[in-house]
Amino acid sequence: MRLSGEQLFALFVVRENREYDCITVRYMSESGSQVVRIPYAAILFECAFGESASLLSLTEVKLDTGWFVPREQFSGSKRPVVQSEAEARLLKIFHEEGPMALASAKAISFVRALDVDDEGYWHIEGLGRMATVVGVKLDPPGSEVKSEEVIMMYHVQELGLGCAHCGAEMQLGRCVFLTDGGFEVYPCNICEEWVWVYPDNYEEVE
């Protein structure tokens, strides 16, 4: 999806190198990954995700060498930004709820099951590994249930548990998360669903 005018000034990048007056970043364009230097003066807000990704909010700035104009840099005819579904969801949070909603990453439950690798890290397509799901809050199915915080992760060691949505069997080695309320939850690697296993003492709300 190509970024439109309103969204132009916020985009996801991979941080490559920091210099004294600018940061070198990589972003996804219609013709593949591109490297560009962004002057610090143009950065209104940065929210780091994981080891190397950031969401940058950018503005126009006048430099000795001329203007840096995000609109021209990232949506001009040369190499326009493209964003994955995951980026679109995070940018929506940023635009609708503001920077703090992103900054408090532990309080957002946007992680898609399909984007989680076997080591329990979630990814953004084209930008790579972000952060562990441990510490993230996820919403169990059922409106009566509050968000559950993931407190630890382990790997599937025996077969037998299936996905209620697509029927696929949970694979050995797939990550399973334990929440503070005693739920086990794992990301199905076939469909897009989180599979919730209720604690023994839990009375399900119909």
| Size, binding site for Zn ion by CB under 5 A | 7
Q: Do 2 and 95 contact (CB within 8 A), yes or no?
A: no
Closest C-alpha among 176, 151, 1 to residue 89: 1
Q: Which is nearer to Zn ion, 117 or 149 (CB)?
A: 117
69-77, 85-93, 121-129, 156-164 -> range binding Zn ion (CB under 5 A): 156-164
Token pair for 113? 């099951």
Least distance to Zn ion from the beta carbon of 7, Å? 31
Site for Zn ion contains 129 (CB under 5 A)? no
Q: Quick check: helix, strand or coil at residue 72?
A: helix
Site for Zn ion contains 133 (CB under 5 A)? no
- DSSP 3-state helix, strand, coil percentages of the chain (rounded to 5)? 15, 40, 45
Site for Zn ion contains 165 (CB under 5 A)? yes
Closest C-alpha among 115, 157, 156, 155 to residue 136: 115
88-96, 127-135, 157-165, 172-180 -> range binding Zn ion (CB under 5 A): 157-165
Q: Which is nearer to Zn ion, 76 or 162 (CB)?
A: 162
Site for Zn ion contains 41 (CB under 5 A)? no
Interatomic CA distance for residues 136 and 177, integer angstroms: 10
Site for Zn ion contains 166 (CB under 5 A)? yes
| Residue appearing with tokens 């957002």 | 108
Interatomic CA distance for residues 26 and 47, integer angstroms: 15
14-22, 25-33, 102-110, 168-176 -> range binding Zn ion (CB under 5 A): 168-176
Q: Are strands 61-63 and 53-58 parallel, antiparallel or unpaired?
A: unpaired
Least distance to Zn ion from the beta carbon of 198, Å? 17
Q: Which is nearer to Zn ion, 41 or 166 (CB)?
A: 166
Site for Zn ion contains 191 (CB under 5 A)? yes
Least distance to Zn ion from the beta carbon of 46, Å? 35
Interatomic CA distance for residues 38 and 49, integer angstroms: 18
Summarize as ranges the residues that interact with Zn ion (CB under 5 A): 163, 165-166, 168, 188, 190-191
